Amino acid sequence: MGRRLLVLLLALAGGAADAADAYLFTYFTKNGEDGLHLAASDDGYHWQKLNGGNSYLVPNVGKSKLMRDPCIVRGPDGTYHMVWTSGWNENNIGYASSKDLLHWSEQQEIPVMAHEPTSLNAWAPEIAYDAQRGEFLIFWAATVPGKFPLTDGSSEGKYNHRMYFTTTKDFATFAPTKLFYDPGFSVIDATFVRANGKSWLLVKDETRNPPHKYLQLAAAPDLQGPFGKLSAPITKPGLWVEGPTALQVGADVIVYYDAYASRHYGALRSRDLVNWEDVTSQMHFPDEGTPLRMRHGTAIAVPAALVESLRSAPSPLPRPTP
């Protein structure tokens, strides 16, 4: 029996397809102006763009109306919730939800840093479901000038980032924004790595002077901290990276990252999260080496039936005129 037919039969049986995982990668291209892109994989190594590489959702919130760094999580009821960077220098982020990643709710602008009128940005929001508290955790990087004077001047320009967060149960009301993570340096692109029944916080040291730009891990016994001591860098010195995201594929943990300085995607693999192997050469990412290459996104495990439906569905948006 063909794999696709088997998956569809499992789906018709009602919920059994959840046991047959596939993987999705949400990402953006260029500056994020055309919105959400998706790639799929059966093994976590070979990624194929969906919808012919065309966007699934065009951004319409925020002053700049961008959709950078799209991060998605599946809630306990099966709804997919997505947050994204809606502009380079804005105090808000974007939010939308979907049951099938084809039909989306009305987009929402969440002014997460409005309480800090001098805030420079709200970058790379991530969303996670906190089962212990029965709520969603949203966290992002922001610079509030003068807030952490000991590391002023350590990043590009006026930036000196720390991680902030809010929580919500219904995406209508949100808890007041609070400081989420301050490792003592300018930090961005935090994400959780869930593997072997435990959680770690993976972050990028954004220090420019002297240049760091690498990834590190800290144990996360609770999604709201306190977080453990940071590991040694897991990416190579001199390889400037951003936008990490992680999957557990079998016994292996794979961390994907955007090696933006050299304009390609890379990947590391580990079983103990201490010893890491570079597996970039084993990866296939769509449109590598072109202006449409994948940029900072999120990889998640999903029911294989969802990927099959995305592959067979007509484009949700009009295709651009050649």
pLDDT single digits (tens) 207-264: 999 999 999 999 999 999 999 999 999 999 899 999 999 999 999 999 999 999 999 9
Q: What whole-number percentage of the chain has pLDDT above 90?
A: 88
pLDDT at 322: 40
Mean pLDDT over all residues of the chain? 92
Side chain identity at residue 148, one-letter code:
F
pLDDT tops 70 at residue 110:
yes
pLDDT single digits (tens) 12-31: 333 333 445 899 999 999 99
Residue keyed to tokens 């939010």:
95
pLDDT single digits (tens) 73-106: 999 999 999 999 999 999 999 999 999 999 999 9
Q: What whole-number percentage of the chain has pLDDT above 70?
A: 92
pLDDT band at 319 (very low <50, low <70, confident <90, very high): low
* Domains present along the chain, CATH in parentheses: 21-312 (2.120.10.10)
CB 235 within 8 A of CB 268: yes
Residue whose C-alpha is closest to residue 282's, from 252, 305, 262: 252
pLDDT band at 315 (very low <50, low <70, confident <90, very high): confident
For residues 35 and 60, what is the distance between their CA atoms, to the nearest angstrom? 9
For residues 164 and 85, what is the distance between their CA atoms, to the nearest angstrom? 14
pLDDT tops 50 at residue 2:
no
- The mean pLDDT of 133-146, rounded to a whole number, is 98
- The mean pLDDT of 136-140, rounded to a whole number, is 98
pLDDT tops 50 at residue 289:
yes
pLDDT band at 318 (very low <50, low <70, confident <90, very high): low
pLDDT single digits (tens) 155-204: 999 999 999 999 999 999 999 999 999 999 999 999 999 888 889 999 99
